[in-house]
Amino acid sequence: MRRGRRARDLGIMIGDREPGEHDAITDVPGVRVGHCTILRDPDIRTGVTAIVPDGIGPHAPLPAGLFTGNGYGKLIGATQVAELGQIEAPIVLTSTLSAFRAADALVSWMLARPDCADVRSFNPVVGECNDGYLSDIRARPVGEAQVLAAIDDAAPGPVAEGCVGAGTGTGALGFKAGIGTSSRVLDLAGEPVTLGVLVQANFGGTLRVLGTTIPPGRFGPGEAAVQDAGSCMIVVTTDAPLDARQLTRLARRAVFGLGRVGASYSHGSGDYGIAFSVRPGGTPPPDAALSPLFEAALDAVEEAVLNSLFNATTTTGVDGHVLHAIPIPDLIEFLRRSRPTTAR
Q: Has 239 been annotated as catalytic?
A: no
User: What is the distance between the alpha carbons of residues 276 and 86, in angstroms, rounded to a whole number?
Assistant: 8
CA distances from 126 to 35, 81, 94, 104 (A): 14, 11, 8, 10
Given the residues 95, 135, 269, 308, select the one marked as catalytic.
Answer: 269
User: Catalytic annotation on 231?
Assistant: yes
CB 95, CB 131: distance < 8 Å: yes
- Is 269 part of the annotated catalytic residue set? yes
Catalytic residue, candidates 136, 153, 239, 271 = 271
Ramachandran quadrant class, 207 (left: phi over 0; alpha: psi -120 to 50; beta: rest):
beta
Tell me whether residue 221 is exposed, middle or buried, using C-beta atoms within 10 angstroms of its C-beta: 0 to 12, 13 to 18, 19 or more: exposed
Residue in 98, 183, 231, 264 annotated catalytic: 231
**Dist CA 179 CA 77 (whole Å):** 22
DSSP states of 239-295 = SS---HHHHHHHHHHHHHHGGGGTB---TT-EEEEEEEES-TTS-PPPGGG-HHHHH
Element housing 301 (H / E): helix 291-310
For the sheet with 31-40, list strands across it.
31-40, 44-53, 91-95, 125-129
Tell me how many degrees the CA angle 96-100-103 measures, rounded to the nearest 5. 120
Which residues form the catalytic set? 231, 269, 271
